[in-house]
């Protein structure tokens, strides 16, 4: 009963492997880029008074202020870059999975062909549409045609076989759509936590300097605290973007899953209705 999905299995393994390799390469590359940004862009002498990165940031220069956030800043910039990188990657993957035209329109066309009993036209439509939804539906339609000439099974068994084939094809497609979403979900939490870590580190340094000097002006202390809070600001920004993108992608995947379920149900119901005794 698993004949239909089997040919697609190597393709899905290859897709998963490619996506995994992408993540393995993207994360260290993002870190290297973040370090370069921290050193050569945020740390450019033009952003600091007297051209000294160890000194105070120039008035109103946010690049210099961000650089003063300390060594946690490159880590946070890495997270921010990862949000953009994996969001673009998921947009591409989910866009391909949706196919060449609107999923809703595709589902309506398939249902129309099913109502007319034109299985070949429905299969041809899947070839035109491409993508994950079309792959699953085509697997179900292929099983539909196999069950029409199957003489050793009754209608209920045939219907169950079609339903099982659709479920197996769906199980092959879903991991590809959901891959790397765990990275975005993780960034939702660790973005804010890492930002807080940088802020706490900055606060410790600011009060340690206050304690060792014995007398520091309120403006110096305020400057140190504001620099420390830069980490929290970047961390919160990262977390906000991550949760927005995660929710967008899960919503898109839910829509594709619903389209698969709806069309798969139509295939099963059409077969059962047209082969009643």
* Averaged pLDDT, groups of 10, the chain, 277 residues long: 40 60 92 96 92 82 89 95 96 92 93 91 94 93 92 91 94 88 94 93 80 63 77 95 97 94 92 80
**Confidence at residue 185, expressed as pLDDT on a 0 to 100 scale:** 95
What is residue 57's DSSP assignment? B
The per-residue pLDDT for 266 is 92
Going by the DSSP 8-state scheme, the letter that residue 7 receives in this structure is G
CA 173 to chain centre: 15
Angstrom distance (rounded) from CA 19 to CA 25: 10
Helices (H), the chain: 9-36, 62-67, 72-98, 103-115, 119-129, 131-148, 155-178, 181-213, 218-274
User: Is 169 within 8 Å of 5 (Cβ atoms)?
Assistant: yes
Whole-number CA gyration radius for the chain: 28
Token pair for 263: 């069309």
Quote the pTM value. 0.85
Residue spans of the domains in the chain: they are 6-49+66-274
What is the pLDDT at residue 260?
Answer: 93
Cα–Cα distance measured from residue 196 to residue 69, given in angstroms and rounded to the nearest whole number: 12
């Amino acid at each position: 009963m698993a004949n239909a999905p089997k040919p697609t299995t190597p393709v899905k393994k290859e897709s998963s492997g490619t996506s995994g390799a992408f993540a393995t390469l993207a994360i260290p590359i993002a870190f290297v880029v973040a370090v370069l940004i921290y050193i050569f862009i945020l740390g450019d002498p033009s952003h600091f008074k007297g051209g000294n990165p160890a000194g105070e940031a120039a008035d109103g220069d946010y690049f210099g202020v961000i650089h003063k956030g300390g060594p946690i800043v490159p880590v946070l910039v890495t997270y921010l870059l990862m949000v953009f990188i994996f969001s673009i990657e998921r947009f591409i993957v989910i866009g391909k999975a949706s196919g060449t035209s609107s999923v809703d329109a595709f589902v309506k066309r398939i249902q129309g062909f099913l109502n007319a009993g034109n299985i070949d036209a429905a299969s041809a439509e899947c070839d035109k549409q491409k993508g994950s939804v079309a792959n699953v539906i085509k697997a179900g339609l292929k099983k539909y045609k196999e069950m029409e000439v199957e003489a050793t099974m009754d209608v209920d068994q045939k219907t169950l076989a079609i339903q099982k084939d659709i479920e197996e094809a769906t199980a092959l497609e879903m991991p590809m759509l959901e891959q790397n979403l765990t990275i975005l979900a993780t960034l939702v939490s660790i973005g804010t936590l890492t930002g807080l870590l940088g802020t706490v580190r900055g606060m410790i340094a600011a009060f340690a300097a206050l304690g060792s000097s014995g007398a520091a002006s309120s403006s110096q202390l305020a400057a140190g605290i504001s620099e420390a809070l830069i980490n929290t600001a970047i961390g919160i920004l990262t977390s906000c973007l991550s949760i927005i993108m995660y929710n967008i992608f899960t919503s898109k995947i839910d829509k594709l899953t619903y389209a698969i379920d709806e069309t798969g149900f139509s295939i099963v119901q059409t077969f059962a209705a047209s082969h009643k005794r």
